[in-house]
Amino acid sequence: MAKLRAFIAVELGEALRRALGEVQAQVRAAVDLPVRWVEPEKAHLTLKFLGDIDEGQVEGIVSAMADIASQAQPLTVALGDVGGFPTLARPRVLWVGLRGDVGPLTDLQQALERRLESLGFAAEGRPFAPHLTLGRVRGGDRSRRLDEATGLAADAPSAEAVQRVDRISLMQSTLRAQGAEYRSLRSVILGSELSVP
């Protein structure tokens, strides 16, 4: 049976992608680090990374997603402040956080985590930190603090772009030499038991 590299995510709308691109441009201008930047059109909010799954597992995963989605309501998010993992003091990943309905979003992610654990997917060892990846730092000196990058998202006019999150998607990731390509396999609508291709 064929394997798929899969994850569950919120796909971004055009306004939030555009705002993310503007914040990314400001961070690029502010930091002096070798960073492999994420293309804003490929950005998404990962709720659960599943890894390699069998095609035969898709229906069970979508059914679990639909059960959880039926108990949730649509929510809204907007861009927050810039941060780094593990810290801005020595970042390996630069990201922008989210604000808005972060509590309900976290509840949704935790419900997915518990339900998928019952299907054999290991629970994430770290707490959920809703964010959008701006870029990954490539080796070199990461000792310089990036205080100048903090607060950039909050100051960017387009950071006021708000997205209504009304569905979650099972995504396929295909690794290619030029970077990962993403494709939505199925989506489920929040507040409903409906799934859509």
Show the domains of the chain with their CATH numbers. Answer: 3-196 (3.90.1140.10)
pLDDT score at 135 = 92
Residue 127: cis peptide before it, omega within 30 degrees of 0: no
Lowest mean pLDDT among 102-111, 130-139, 141-150, 158-167: 141-150
pLDDT score at 147 = 55
> 119 and 165 in contact (C-beta within 8 Å)?
no
pLDDT score at 157 = 44
Active site residue 59: no
**Predicted confidence (pLDDT) per residue in 36-92, tens digit:** 999 999 999 999 999 999 999 999 999 999 999 999 999 999 999 888 888 877 788
pLDDT at 191 over 50: yes
The better pLDDT of the pair 140, 64 is held by 64
Q: For 86-119, where are the E strands, in sequence order?
A: 93-100
Residue 83 burial by Cβ neighbours in a 10 Å radius (0-12, 13-18, 19+): buried
Neighbours of 168 (CB within 10 A): 26
Where residue 123 falls among pLDDT bands split at 50, 70, 90?
very high
> 24 and 60 in contact (C-beta within 8 Å)?
no
**pTM to 2 decimal places:** 0.89
Residues in contact with 11: Cβ distance below 8 Å, sequence separation at least 6, in sequence order: 44, 167, 169, 171, 184, 187
Phi-psi sector, 103: left (phi>0), alpha (psi -120 to 50), beta: alpha
Q: How far is CA 94 from CA 31, 37, 77, 175, in A?
A: 10, 9, 19, 21
Active site residue 191: no
Tell me the pLDDT of the chain averaged across its residues: 88
Q: Phi and psi of 96, rounded to 5°?
A: -120, 130
pLDDT at 142 over 90: no
Where residue 29 falls among pLDDT bands split at 50, 70, 90?
confident
Of the residues 17, 48, 131, 167, only one is catalytic, namely 131
DSSP for 18-64 reads HHHHHHHHHHHHH--S-EEEPPGGG-EEEEEEEEEEEGGGHHHHHHH
Our CA angle for 40, 106, 5, nearest 5°, is 55
Of the residues 21, 43, 44, 112, only one is catalytic, namely 44
Laid out side by side, the sheet with 162-165 consists of 35-37, 131-137, 93-100, 75-85, 162-165
